[in-house]
Amino acid sequence: MTNPAARQLYNYLSDVMRHPHKAKLDIEQLPEDFREFGRELVGFCESVMQARSLAEDLAQGRLDTPLPPRDNLVADPLKSLHAALRHLTWQTQQVAAGDYQQRVEFMGDFSAAFNTMVERLERQRTALQRELDSWRVENHTLRQNTSLYEKLMRHIARSIIVADAQTGDWMYVSEEIQAMLSGVEDIRLLNRWMGDQLRSGEFSTRTAQLEIEMTDGVHYYLVSIHPMRWLSRDAAAFVFTDISGERREIENLQSIAHYDALTGLLNRYRCMQVLDQWLSERRRFVLCFVDVDNLKYINDHFSHRAGDQYLLRVADGLR
């Protein structure tokens, strides 16, 4: 190529294709009759490079990238794709939040796949809602049966203290109470607690139930307070039912519901509860997502036991 202007333009185009970051064309070095063409060529190449940069960002999923200017007509299809992806991202977030009315109509085969997914999620949610409603009915029945059981147990309970309604003095103490109380301190604290209940006057005409924790932090009792007459005096019968086992079972169930069995970390359900609380309290916080690399490779090549150990080490690191 013997024409210097043609060589200069060729070299510039070659750099645009192969080394875009160093591509540069000095318009003033061109013959005068080539300068207008050179300016147009530079404008076109800059539009192409801007479109290429946008395409690379979209390929990497970076939707917050700055868009080329409006006069860049070369990038218009990519800018349309960028807008479509941002809208699709918003729709996906709406679906994740439970809005299954979202539909996509502008992305060909992907639209059909997306809409089918949302419809299936809606059917699954409906089925789960039916299951939940059924469970609530069963749970209500179970609670009624449990309530009846507790009432029957109260009638045959033997851990009883009868106290004078005015003075709080103990008028009757069953033998089983002695086993419940571990020492003088327990007796003093229990006597004070019972006196507080009597002085409140809330149980003078009706039966009520309260829960107390013993000083050892291990034993819990459900206390029914019954107003009554005892030896011609106004009194109250405190009936104690040991619910320590039930409390431990509840705490165990709460642990199962809130913690991951393998790592001991809070599970998704509990984390979402905490997030909802923090959001309602308008707290300032940082939410970090951690992606564990190559877990599938470890499971496939070294066994799921090794994968579990990997997850445990990650959990220890997070702690």
Whether 176 and 192 map to the same domain: the answer is yes
Does residue 183 carry a pLDDT above 80? no
In a domain, 250, yes or no: no
Per the domain annotation, does 252 fall within a domain?
no
Q: Are residues 180 and 137 in the same domain?
A: no
**Inter-residue contact 103 to 118 (CB < 8 Å):** yes
Per-residue pLDDT tens over the stretch 47-63: 888 888 888 888 888 88
Q: Are residues 140 and 166 in the same domain?
A: no
116 within domain boundaries: yes
Write down the pTM of the prediction.
0.35
pLDDT at 143: 66
Whether 239 and 263 share a structural domain: no
90-141: per-residue pLDDT in tens? 888 888 888 877 888 777 777 777 888 888 888 888 888 888 888 888 777 6
The CATH number given to whatever domain includes residue 220 is: 3.30.450.20
- Model pLDDT, residue 285: 94
Among residues 156, 175, 191, the one where a domain terminates is 156
Q: Which domain holds residue 210?
A: 159-245
Same domain as 38, residue 83: yes
**Given this model, what pLDDT does residue 145 score?**
53
Instruction: Domain count for the chain, please give it.
Output: 4
Q: Are 106 and 89 part of one and the same domain?
A: no
Answer whether residue 84 is part of any domain.
yes
CA distance 136 to 4: 86
Last residue of a domain, one of 79, 96, 113: 96
Query: Residues 61, 34: one domain?
Result: yes
Q: Do residues 108 and 51 both lie within one domain?
A: no
Please check whether residue 253 lies inside any domain of the structure.
Answer: no
